[in-house]
Structure 1
Amino acid sequence: MSSFHDATAVARYAQGPVRQVPGLHALHRMAHLLLAEHAPDDGRILVLGAGGGLELRAFANARPGWRFVGVDPYAPMLALAENTLGPLASRVEFIHGEIDAAPAGPFDGATCLLTLHFLTLEERLHALRQLRERLKPGAPLVVAHHSIAQEPEERTRWLGRYASFAAASGVAYADARRAAEGIGRRLPLLSPAQEESLLERAGFTPPELFYAAFTFRGWVARRET
């Protein structure tokens, strides 16, 4: 995304997800609880799409013994993450790059929040397989992102609801509508059934839906042993 290279856009990033993603803070709490079902108190967690640092901060505050590897392809977003974390950043290894740049692990869990919807089907499958390879047997992967039906009228209806939520949260309605239209036009959105199929093709157990909020869906799946 070109906006992640724009210094002004990056500086405003922290305001965006809270206004655009229903229940963002609850999503972070749920994600850390799902990770904690497997990860020990001194667990090591891989965060793909770590730019901005919002989920890293939530996880680090909730689990003082966890250490993290945060991967993101945009250097300005990683810098923002480090700033967001403040002293907590000492527990994070930041890596500038794609999933292939991440260390081999094995990790006690992984997350990829608000990221996979930027990738094509083939790119998602590659990322999911690489995440799986870096997890311990039975370790969870938590994902959440845009996922809506492919039928045109239904897509339009749900993207309109996304825009209405953003506007109700303080985003100018014209901006919210433009954002929704851009999402529908530019992002390679997949249906929930396609997302679940990809996770299984990548070598994960059948995913469990834990989060559904207008255009967003979230699943937890585990590396098959």
Structure 2
Amino acid sequence: MTKQTIDFDLNAAIAGTEYDEMIMSVIPGYEAMHQMALACLRAKLSDEANLLVVGAGTGMELIKFGKGNSQWQILGVDPSQKMLTIAQEKIQQNGLSEQVKLFPGYTDDLPDSSIYDAATSILVMHFIPDDGGKLAFLQSITRRMKSSSTLILIDVFGEKGTDDFQEMTSLVKKFWEETEIPEAKKVELLETMDKGVYPIAETRVLELLQQAGFGKVMRFYTGLWVGGWMAVKDDL
């Protein structure tokens, strides 16, 4: 992983200790996006596949994917030790210790010999500025993937400063009312969006994927300002 601008061990808008409690209320369709990501992976992978989860966090996708196919070998990568501690507890509680492993750090820190049949990046890249960082992030994943392997990318998307993004922000605020997010937390989340989240238009997402070596891109999920894309690494 190329380093993101928010340290989830120190000053995240949703700290590791409360992440699981809050995230389903904060992110539109949080559970549904993971179910759809799993469906995409099942459609593309054999039972013997190995999967790289970039930005494993507290382990939502690790557990979801591990239970989704008991034979997949999964590595979760994340720089947040606090979140990985929570993820490790979940792995043990669900009896997945032999199937799911954790790596503290970034994708670039992985051995060059580590090559995967698929990779996922769920709610990670939008924390990285589009100053070369997003492309470097995707390229770091590309280098760890086999030819014709599948990438699942899910992020907040849209172009800040546009009327469309402003209207979408209003819709998300209404969504937070429905999920009963406290007012103080709404203010904190919007401040984080303003200063520490770097969404980009879908056209830019597609451009970056192409530059990083991916083709056959399909958007499989939309939940207000969250989008999910499936892409295939080009043959070398």
Asked whether the two chains share a fold, i.e. TM above 0.5, the reply is yes
Aligned-residue offset at 1:34: 1.3
161-170 or 127-136, which deviates more: 161-170
C-alpha spacing 1:205/1:144, structure 2 compared with 1 (3 Å): same
Q: CA deviation at 1:190?
A: 1.0
Question: TM-score, normalising length from structure 2?
Answer: 0.88
Mark the runs of 5 or more structure 2 residues left unpaired by the alignment.
1-5
Match of 1:216 among 202, 222, 226: 226
Structure number with the bigger relative contact order (C-alpha 8 A, sep ≥ 6) is 2
1:32 is paired with a residue of what secondary structure? helix
Which letter maps to 2:177?
Answer: A
Q: Does the Cα contact within 8 Å between 2:81 and 2:104 map onto a contact in 1?
A: yes
What is the rounded CA distance, in whole Å, between the counterparts of 1:187 and 1:84 in structure 2?
27
What is the aligned-residue RMSD (CA, Å)?
1.9
Percent of matched pairs sharing the same residue: 25
Give the structure with the larger strand fraction.
2
Distance 1:90 1:159 in 2: 42
1:116 matches 2:125: yes
Say whether 1:62 aligns with 2:62: no
Q: 1:100 aligns with which of 95, 108, 115?
A: 108
Q: Which residue matches 1:35?
A: 41
Give CA deviations for 1:179-225 in whole Å, capped at 9, x if unaligned: 12420333222111111110000000042111111111110000001
Out of 78, 84, 87, the residue aligned to residue 81 of structure 1 is: 87
2:220–2:228 contact (8 Å) kept in structure 1: yes
Structure 1, unpaired ranges of 5+: none
Indicate yes or no: 2:26 matched with 1:20: yes
Instruction: Name whichever structure is richer in helix by fraction.
Output: 1
In the alignment, the residues of structure 2 paired with residue 97 and residue 118 of structure 1 have an alpha-carbon distance, to the nearest angstrom, of: 16
Deviation readout 1:131-180 (Å, 9 max, x if unpaired): 11211111100010110134433222212222221231121134224312
Give the whole-Å Cα distance in 1 for the aligned partners of 2:100 and 2:179.
Answer: 31
What residue is the counterpart of 1:125 in the other structure?
135
Distance in 1, matches of 2:118 and 2:179, equals 32
Aligned residues: 225
Find the residue that maps to 1:178 and give its secondary structure. helix
Structure 1 runs of 4+ with >6 Å offset: none
Is the CA contact (8 Å cut-off) linking 1:211 and 1:219 kept in structure 2? yes
CA distance in 1, matches of 2:128, 2:57: 16
TM-score by length of 1: 0.92
Between 83-92 and 28-37, the greater mean CA deviation after superposition: 83-92
Q: Secondary structure at the match of 2:145?
A: coil
Is the Cα contact below 8 Å between 2:58 and 2:83 reproduced in 1?
yes
Structure 1 residue 120 displacement after superposition: 1.6
